[in-house]
Structure 1
Amino acid sequence: MKVSDKMTRDLRIASPEDSIQDAARSMAECDSGVLPVGENDHLVGMVTDRDITVRGVAEGKGPNAKVRGVMTVDVKYCFEDEDLDHVARNMAEQQVRRLPVMSRDKRLVGILSLGDISLGEGAMPALAALSGISQPGGEHSQTGGPRS
């Protein structure tokens, strides 16, 4: 099974210049905890509800702070034509719950979440990803991962 078979195609994209309040509002409207961040037709980051909380609110930033100041810029991604099992293993190794999905010409075409994988054929890819993601710490933990 390919990533394109399970990814979510309907996306909202934040701008690095959007306020974190606008990003949070967009997340609430689409019932998602993450937004890809795009600038000049390129993926430049990802912002999560947790980024807004831990990197924004906890650091005393107000609702008008820019997404650029809280987003993760070291974005891992996958391609839409990749094998789903392979990508699930990579998600476990990288300890990420969601990956932007790119076309081979590097255009954002969707997002793949652990939930999307769990709806795949059988539970093994999701269990493998969850096992790795659930390990403590890691590059993308809120206390030590790359931001900008």
Structure 2
Amino acid sequence: MLIIEVLSGTVAALCLALGCVLAIIPAVIDADAIVTQFIVGCVGAVASFIILAPVIRRYKLNKPDHRDQRSNMDAIIGRTGIVTEPIYPDGRQGRVKVDGDNWLAVTDACYCPVLKGETVEVLSYDSIVIKVRPKR
């Protein structure tokens, strides 16, 4: 149960595990007390859920949320790069060097071809291909 809790990250499996541990106590005292084991296990699971859920929720709320941080791909949007292979508006890909990394790049159909050595701005990305526009 504890392995499931670690893998799932929820409180429910941990509370059920604590209820099961508490249910062991009547079994040790009297092996025939199956009903008592069941009741103690259920009450223990519910009580541990009532006690642990707010504590764990508070702990998770105080933890910084990493989803607000931009990934490396998001960080290149708005950056300036230099064209290393020409990019044509008909969809043919070229290459752009942004912050030392060489990217496949396309440009909007409304722009003229972007030639080698020109400066471009990164607009967006789709997988490993960035969309750029000339910075004129």
What's the TM-score bracket when you normalise by the shorter of the two chains? Answer: under 0.3
Query: Per residue, is there more strand in 1 or in 2?
Result: 2
Q: Give TM-score, length-normalised by structure 1.
A: 0.21
- The answer to which structure has the higher helix fraction is 2
| Greater C-alpha radius of gyration | 2
Q: TM-score, normalization: structure 2?
A: 0.23
